[in-house]
Amino acid sequence: MIEARGLTRTYRTRGAFTGERTVHALRSVDFILPKGGAVSFIGESGCGKTTLGKILTGIETFDGGELLIDGTEVSKLPPRKRAPYFRRIQMIHQDPYSALNPTRTIDQILGDPLRMRARATGAGSSGVRGRAAELLELVGLEPDGVLPKYPHQLSGGQRQRVVIARALTVDPEVLIADEAVSMIDVSLRLGILALLHDLRTRLGISLVFITHDVATARYIGAGGELHVIYRGQVIERGPTDDIIQAPVHPYTQCLLSAVPIMRGREEPGPDRLEPLAPLDEKAPADGCLFAPRCPFADEGCSAARPALEQLGNTGQHHACFHPAPRRVVGVEIQPAGV
Ligand SMILES: Nc1ncnc2c1ncn2[C@@H]1O[C@H](COP(=O)(O)OP(=O)(O)O)[C@@H](O)[C@H]1O
Ligand SMILES: [Mg+2]
C-alpha cells in the first residue's frame, strides 16, 4: 500500500541565538506498509515521528528518497494528481482538543466532509445524517446522544473517537495515528487502541502507528513491524514482538527499560543514559548517532555510521557495531495502563 525508500527530510533553520542550523528530521527511512497491515514507529520526542506522519499524508514535503502509494511515486505527480492518493491516507493527531472546531456540533463536524463527498460523487446529501450516525456507531459512540453536542461537551476519549469518525468520512485505506492516545486519560487509552485495532481487522484499514510509548507500540503493533527511530534514523526494526523481547541495539534496550540501567557489560562504565542533547548539538558528523550516549561505544563507533543490517537469519535489522542481546535491568513492559 505504502512504500518508503530512503525518505529524507532536512530542515534549515535560522535562529537569533543559534544561528543557522541544520536539522536532519528523517535520514533515509525505508519501510513497507502492506494492505491491511500495521507498521509502528517508536522513539523519543524530536526524533522525526511527526515529520514522517506529515510526509505520509502529504502535509509535508521530503527532500530525498521516494514515496510510493500503490506503486505510484507521488512526489513526481503534479499537485492536483497527488491529492487523490493522499486522500486515502488520513492522520489522527495527538490532540483531540484542538483537532475539532469548538463552535460546531458533531453533526456539523461529520456532516461537512460527508456532504462534500456526496456532492463529488453525485450521491446527493440525503444519506449524510445516516452515514454520520453509522460512523459514530462504528467508533463506539451513541449517535443520538453525540450528534447535537459540541466538542467541549465530550470527554477526551469520546473526542478522539469523533476525530477517528471524521477521518473515516472519506473511506481511507490508511490511518496514521501520531501519538493518538498520549493526551487521553490513561483509563480511556485502551479503548481507543482497541478501536484502531478493530478498524484494521474489520475494515482492512492499514495503520501507521507513531508513539514514544513502548506499551502502546506493543499492543497496537502486534503482528506488524516495529521501527525504532533515533535522530531521524531507523536504528532497529523487525517484527514487533521480536524487537520488544530481544532488542540488540543499545538504544532500543534503553528505551524498553523503564529505568535505563544496563548490566551485562564486561567493563564498568556509565549505567545511566545522559538526557537527550538537543538535536544536532552533539550529533557526530560521521559516527553512530547514538555513540555519545551509548555505554558500549568505542572509537570505531565515532568513526563511521553503522547502516541497518540483518541480524543472522532473523527478521530483525539493526544499525549497530556491537549488537547483542543484553539484559536490561528494570524492564517492565505491561500491556496494562495502555
Ligand atoms: N517545520 C520545521 N522547521 C524546522 N525544524 C523542524 C520543523 N518540523 C520539525 N522540525 C524539527 O525536526 C525534528 C523532528 O521533529 P518531529 O518530527 O516533530 O519529532 P517528533 O514528532 O518525533 O517529536 C525536531 O528537531 C524538530 O525541531
Ligand atoms: Mg511528534
Binned average pLDDT, 10 residues per bin, the chain of 338 residues: 95 81 92 94 91 94 95 90 92 87 96 90 84 95 96 93 94 93 84 92 94 87 92 96 91 72 41 52 80 87 94 94 75 34
The pLDDT score that the predictor gives to residue 280 is: 54
Nearest residue by C-alpha to atom 18 in ligand 1: 50
Query: Which residue among 26, 44, 51 is best mutated to probe the pocket of ligand 1, counting the most ligand atoms within 8 A of its Cβ?
Result: 51
Write out the H or E segment, with its range, that includes residue 30. Answer: strand 19-33
Is residue 155 within 8 Å of 188, Cβ to Cβ? Answer: yes
Q: Quote the ligand 2 centre to 182 CA distance (angstroms).
A: 11
Ligand 1 first shell, C-beta below 6 A: 11, 13, 23, 25, 43, 45-51, 279
Nearest residue by C-alpha to atom 12 in ligand 1: 25
The pLDDT score that the predictor gives to residue 285 is: 78
Nearest residue by C-alpha to atom 5 in ligand 1: 11
Q: Quote the ligand 2 centre to 121 CA distance (angstroms).
A: 35
167 to 40, 146, 163, 164, 186: CA distances (angstroms)? 19, 17, 6, 5, 23
* Cell numbers 537569533: residue: 16
| Beta-carbon count within 10 A of 120 CB | 8
Ligand 1 atom at minimal distance to the Cα of residue 229:
22
The pLDDT score that the predictor gives to residue 270 is: 41
Ligand nearest to the CA of 278: 1
Q: Which residues make Cβ contacts (< 8 Å) with residue 255, sequence separation at least 6?
A: 42, 43, 44, 214, 228
The pLDDT score that the predictor gives to residue 278 is: 53
Nearest residue by C-alpha to atom 9 in ligand 1: 51
Ligand nearest to the CA of 52: 1
Q: Identify which of 125, 116, 126 has the alpha carbon closest to the alpha carbon of residue 166.
A: 116
Q: Which domains does the chain have, with CATH numbers?
A: 1-88+205-338 (3.40.50.300)
Ligand 1 atom at minimal distance to the Cα of residue 44:
22
The pLDDT score that the predictor gives to residue 113 is: 92
Nearest residue by C-alpha to atom 20 in ligand 1: 46
